[in-house]
Amino acid sequence: MTLRDKIQGWLDRMARSYAAGDSGACADMFTEDATLHSPFAPPARGRIEIETLHRDWTGTATAKRFYIRSFGGSGDIAWVLARFSEGDTGTGTTLAVLDRSADTGWLCKACSLNEEQT
């Protein structure tokens, strides 16, 4: 499996968890000390804050999709720039830094969501 396939798999899992309204599953895709920045809410630091944020977002969740624009990685660190689309939120871009461990696989260490301007 290529790095692109692994990253797309991570994005697809996030989209499924989000659409299912499962804020816990969304948060579990982040490291314990992750940060998430978004124009839709104040910054979230740590898995507990990230779960709380996703609880608000997934309360009225609709289908979400991610499309990889660019990605790269070396060893146990990878990054992805992806376009997202989601019902109420619309479209935007996310930049995520992923960290891989033997125990947990790929988890997000840092993420920035940006709203697409129309």
Of 106, 45, 95, nearest to 71 by C-alpha is 95
- At 108 the pLDDT is 97
**In the chain, which residue ranges form alpha helices assigned H by DSSP?**
3-19, 23-27, 46-58
Q: What is the pLDDT of residues 58-102, one digit of tens each?
A: 877 678 899 999 999 999 999 999 998 886 667 889 999 999 988
In the chain the domains, ranked by start, together with CATH numbers, are: 3-115 (3.10.450.50)
Of 55, 62, 61, 82, nearest to 70 by C-alpha is 82
- Does residue 46 come out as left (phi exceeding 0), alpha (psi in the -120 to 50 range) or beta? left
Residue 98 CA from chain centroid, whole number: 10
